[in-house]
Structure 1
């Protein structure tokens, strides 16, 4: 929540700063966009601001580093307490007498070697204790293990640093959170600060180091590039088959009322079904090998491409069809020179969506009995809480998916240059 608030604050501040600079310094008042009087809903008037994109990525990186204690970031959020601290508990005997004892705690990070503490027992029936604890972790302290009067004798803790406490309650002191369990023992947790524990979110340098290690040595008997290659190969194969079947099906539904009536219930029924819901059925039909994964990706792309082709045909301007007829064009000439070119922009939009869905589906499909692939790599790493590998895999999946989308846009620009023109 804190990270989200900081991100929103940076976004808002940069928006007003960039807007002020754009209006006064950078914007040319004589360019085409600036002369437009209506920009709402006009795609040509709304282009991505590259400065905003750069700042957005840098902001996410800085927040990631700041809340993980990264060495690559100069500013850090408050981290967990590391060092020596203490708190005092008040023990009450069965006869009502009380005595205070101090618990000295040495808090260290996981993996650090520290010298164990020692404490003088002190006078009275409650003796001082010395314990070691880990940052971000709680420590169960059996405080009466060295006391003269035990809990079995009716003794109990009634206060921590002067704050009353009873079993099941917790108090916050300068030393951290001190809770009393139902059995009367102490559960201590040092202040955790605002940084994330590495097991939940490692710093950027750890992820980069892991990327270099796996690039050199591989993971689970395959190189990193083999994992990514097989995932990409499955996506391309499934998408290609889905497009080869879906586009003709969409054209048939858009041009024939009979085909539309026959296939429309099937397409509209399967369209909202998540591809992941089909995994058990595909496994039953085709097993857990490559065939089953490609069938799943085929089904993920099929309905999207069919609907995109149908929408492209239905969206062709009827005046163009009438003009072609008036010039003596046949139905096949209209299909080739009017309907297909004018439906391609819609088909390319569907293709971009289908590729994204296939890329997300293949990762989930590889979670089930795959020997290689990005999804398999992430799943195996998660079982051993190797969060750095999981995050590395997620970043690679996102980068490749973004690259695929950029490639599809470039292909659309090259193959369909008439998009958006009347």
Structure 2
């Protein structure tokens, strides 16, 4: 019988090769690796976010679209600086861009002589501002509708140090929140009548061609500070300041004003703080030139004018209502004679002035009031006066002059006599007689 032979199975030997032993990382190193991985992840995420912000950092528009203007946001104020635009066309192009948030806090354009001609209407598109500063350019005019988009928000408008020959004053009533308007150092001429129920601060300094009429400020009754310095004004129209009942500061320094007529400053303001008239050529002040506007809290600045005398009928009521050191009269060459004794002999009134000097160089407070007793006497209206120098005239039978508490007697034999006197004899208390 055939038997199948089954081959013997050979034993299988499994050899286990040793696995490479990887050094066990310490717990600290594992944490460090994990920290590095997280840091790389966050850096990649930050770079991605920065890239997105560079493209558009809300609430600002795209940097590329508004260049060369620069938008900034500090969490409270959204501002735009367009000082580097090439010209007005470039400025107009900027405001054709998409502005996701068009309500800005401020616009600044400064030191750009390439801006020439008229600022056109609608140039800012739908973008609005609370404050606009557009200074030191060569703009010569402003369109009636240049700032229309900001009419309901504009509070401060600074157009100082340009070359403006005109400004749309008639449109101010449309800007019912506008409080500050600065037009100093331009070339403005005749100012049309202002109409504004909100304007509080107006600067028209250093416009050498400025012309004002009695009605220029009639409908700007809420003005608190008005600057008209260095405007070559030769006169102040009577009525110019009538009705400015809220005015606190009025500056008219460095003009060419010579006379202050009656009613010039009929402000009727109870809150006036300073009225500055320094650096003019004022030589005459008429009675009631200041109306009822002065008080003991007002500074009245008459420095560097052409005052030579201070008539008592004009200046006594004026000085009396002021407070100490309130009338500044430095730089006026005053004639310190009998006509000024009313002030020099009244310590209270004199204390209300400061800086007053005689033409001879002495301060008013340093002049001996004995001179007033020596050479001056009061008339029936109690005003000091002196006739021709060196001559005393009398209208009665006897005259008595008080000199150093003694009496200098003159006998006369006529109703109208005159006596010439010698200074040394008067000081020597000698009696003189005339026929």
Q: TM-score, normalised by structure 1?
A: 0.20
Q: Which has the higher contact order (CA 8 A, sep 6+)?
A: 1
Structure with greater strand share of residues: 2
Structure with greater helix share of residues: 1
Q: TM-score, normalised by structure 2?
A: 0.19
Q: Tell which structure's C-alpha radius of gyration is larger.
A: 2
